[in-house]
Amino acid sequence: MAHDRFGGLTGWDMEGFHSGGDTELWKRLGSSVVTIEDDERGPVTGVRFAVWAPNARSVQVIGDFNWWTGDHMELIPGSGVWGLFIEGLGEETLYKYRIETQDGRWIEKVDPMAKFSEQAPANASIVYESKYIWSDDEWMEKRRESQAHAEPMSVYEVHLGGWRKGKSYLDLAEELVSYVKWQGYTHVEFMPLAEHPFEPSWGYQVSGYFSPTSRFGKPDDLRYLIDRLHQAGIGVIMDWVPGHFPKDEWALGRFDGTALYEHADPRQGEHMDWGTYIFNYGRNEVKSFLVSNALYWIKEFHIDGLRVDAVASMLYLDYSREEGQWVPNEFGGRENLEAIDFLRYVNRHLYEREPGVLMIAEESTSFPGVTKPVHHGGLGFGFKWNMGWMNDSLRYLELDPVYRQYEHHLLTFAMVYQYSENFVLPISHDEVVHGKGSMINKVPQDDWRKFATLRAFYSFMWSFPGKQLIFMGCEFGQRPEFNEATSLEWWVSELWGHGGLQRLFRDLNHIYRDNAPLYQLDNEPAGFSWINADDASKNTLSWVRHDADGNHIACVTNFAPQPLVDYEIGLPAGGAWEEILNTDAPIYDGSGEFGNLGEVYAKDEPWGHFPARANVTVPPLGSIWLRRTAQ
Catalytic residues, which ones? 309, 362
Query: In 3D, which of 476, 474, 444 has the Cα closest to residue 559?
Result: 444
First to last CA, the chain: 81
DSSP 194: E
Cα–Cα distance measured from residue 354 to residue 350, given in angstroms and rounded to the nearest whole number: 6
Q: What is the C-alpha separation between 217 and 537, in angstroms, rounded? A: 55
Residue 308 near residue 350 (C-beta atoms within 8 A)? no
Cβ contact 80:258 at 8 Å: no
Cα within 13 Å of Cα(512), Cβ side: 30
CA-wise closest residue to 305 among 208, 206, 369, 235: 235
Contact 384, 370 (CB under 8 A): yes
Peptide bond into 480 cis (omega under 30): no
Which residues, at least 6 apart from 302, have a Cβ–Cβ distance to it below 8 Å?
134, 136, 140, 223, 226, 227, 230, 236
> What is the largest distance, in Å, between two alpha-carbon atoms of the chain?
93
CA distance 578 to 50: 65
Sequence letter at residue 125: S
Distance of CA 493 to the CA centre of its chain: 26
Give Rg (Cα) of the chain.
Answer: 27
Cα 461 to its chain centre, rounded Å, is 19
Residues near 496 by beta carbon (within 8 Å), at least 6 away in sequence: 589
Count of Cβ atoms closer than 10 Å to residue 387 Cβ: 18
Nearest to 258 by CA among 52, 100, 101: 101
Residue from 368, 371, 415, 408 nearest 389 by CA:
415
Work out whether the CA dihedral 310, 315, 321, 327 comes out positive or negative. Answer: positive
Cα–chain center distance at 21: 25
Question: Using CB atoms within 10 A of its CB, is residue 452 exposed (0-12), middle (13-18) or buried (19+)?
Answer: buried
